[in-house]
């Protein structure tokens, strides 16, 4: 894989999809105040019979370069919908799942209609799928992206900006596009202890989002100190190794059965406004 990732992807991607060697790993997201699970993010893991686990950092750039990233993203959405259907059929309660879309998906196909077709095929409600788009996708004036995002939002999907703060045009994006939630890039938490600036920036992001009516989630949370600080500044949701690593589906966790209370509690949702 390392020697020629382009060739590896070219030669093996079709087979990997066909054999379902690409798995969905789910990482939990929790409410900062209660610690309750409020959703999951679906992350792709390519488990090759020979090479073993290949991380998205290795194959996603190749799929993008080869114009095939939308095939992965649609496959992931199908797997997520199928998983949700199984949970529901087992009589369990569902949680929301976020899927990552690439900017290129919006150019390669009518991604909104493709996602809708899969959602309907599996009888999923819109509220159980969120769309994450990484900030670096917004680096230029992009009509396909703007129009696609608008379709998702008008249909009732939540659209989240991933890795907020990592790109150079973050603040412009907030002016030009409408998001439901900012996933704050983990970089600010990395040097948190040594660099007081990071704390000021995190607090400012959360405060600004609040004034813009946008929800916030901090990703890459690894310590209790970070949890305490993020709670203090009013960040609403947390995700990271401290809370849970990405893992294959566990129906008890996915359904919230391991939680003390119903994670889809109506009053809690009303409180957080989603």
* Contact set with ligand C2E (CB under 6 A): 27, 43-44, 55-57, 60, 69, 72-73, 76, 100-102, 132, 134, 162-163, 186, 219-222, 240-241, 246
Residue 71 has which token pair? 């095939």
Can you tell me whether residue 253 is helix, strand or coil? helix
Residue 68: its H or E element: none
Cα–Cα distance measured from residue 63 to residue 72, given in angstroms and rounded to the nearest whole number: 8
> Could you say which residues in the range 127-146 bind Mg ion, by CB under 5 A?
132
Does 162 bind Mg ion (CB under 5 A)? Our answer is: yes
β-pair partners for 23: 45
Measured from the CB atom, the residue of 53 and 212 that comes closer to ligand C2E is 53
Cα–Cα distance measured from residue 255 to residue 252, given in angstroms and rounded to the nearest whole number: 5
β-pair partners for 97: 40, 129
Measured from the CB atom, the residue of 6 and 261 that comes closer to ligand C2E is 6
Among 29, 135, 163, 236, binds Mg ion (CB under 5 A): 163
Measured from the CB atom, the residue of 135 and 259 that comes closer to Mg ion is 135
Strands 96-101 and 181-184, by their bridges, are: unpaired
Can you tell me whether residue 38 is helix, strand or coil? strand
CB 271, min distance to ligand C2E, A: 26
Residue 21: its H or E element: none
225-260 exposure pattern, b = at least 16 Cβ within 10 A, e = fewer: ebbebbeebebbbbbbebbbebeebeeebbbbeebe
> Could you say which residues in the range 48-107 bind Mg ion, by CB under 5 A?
100
Residue 72 site contact among ligand C2E, Mg ion, none (CB < 5 to 8 Å, cut-off depends on kind): ligand C2E
CB 262, min distance to ligand C2E, A: 25
Q: Which position's Cβ is nearest ligand C2E? A: 240
Does 216 bind Mg ion (CB under 5 A)? Our answer is: no
Measured from the CB atom, the residue of 231 and 257 that comes closer to ligand C2E is 231
Cα–Cα distance measured from residue 202 to residue 89, given in angstroms and rounded to the nearest whole number: 41
Residue 104 site contact among Mg ion, ligand C2E, none (CB < 5 to 8 Å, cut-off depends on kind): none
User: Residues interacting with Mg ion, by CB under 5 A?
Assistant: 100, 132, 162-163, 219
């Amino acid at each position: 894989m390392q020697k020629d990732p382009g060739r590896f992807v070219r030669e093996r991607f079709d087979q990997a999809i066909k054999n379902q060697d690409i798995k969905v790993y789910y990482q939990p997201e929790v409410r900062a105040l209660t610690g309750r699970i409020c959703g999951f993010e679906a992350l792709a893991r390519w488990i090759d019979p020979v090479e073993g686990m290949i991380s998205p950092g290795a194959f996603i750039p190749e799929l993008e370069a080869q114009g095939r990233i939308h095939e992965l993203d649609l496959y992931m959405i199908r797997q997520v919908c199928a998983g949700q259907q199984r949970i529901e059929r087992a009589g369990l309660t569902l949680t929301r799942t976020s899927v990552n879309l690439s900017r290129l998906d919006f150019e390669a196909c009518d991604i909104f209609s493709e996602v809708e077709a899969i959602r309907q095929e599996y009888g999923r409600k819109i509220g159980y799928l969120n769309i994450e788009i990484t900030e670096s996708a917004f680096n230029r004036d992009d009509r396909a992206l703007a129009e696609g995002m608008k379709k998702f939002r008008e249909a009732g999907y939540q659209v989240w900006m991933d890795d907020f703060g990592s790109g150079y045009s973050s603040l412009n994006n907030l002016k030009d596009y409408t998001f439901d939630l900012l996933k704050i890039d983990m970089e600010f938490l990395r040097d948190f202890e040594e660099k007081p600036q990071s704390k000021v920036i995190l607090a400012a992001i959360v405060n600004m989002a609040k004034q813009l009516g946008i929800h916030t989630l901090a990703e890459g949370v690894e310590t209790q100190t970070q949890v305490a600080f993020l709670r203090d500044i009013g960040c609403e949701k947390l995700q990271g190794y401290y809370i849970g690593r990405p893992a294959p589906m566990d129906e008890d966790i996915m359904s919230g059965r391991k939680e003390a209370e119903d994670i889809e509690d109506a009053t809690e949702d009303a409180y957080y406004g989603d």
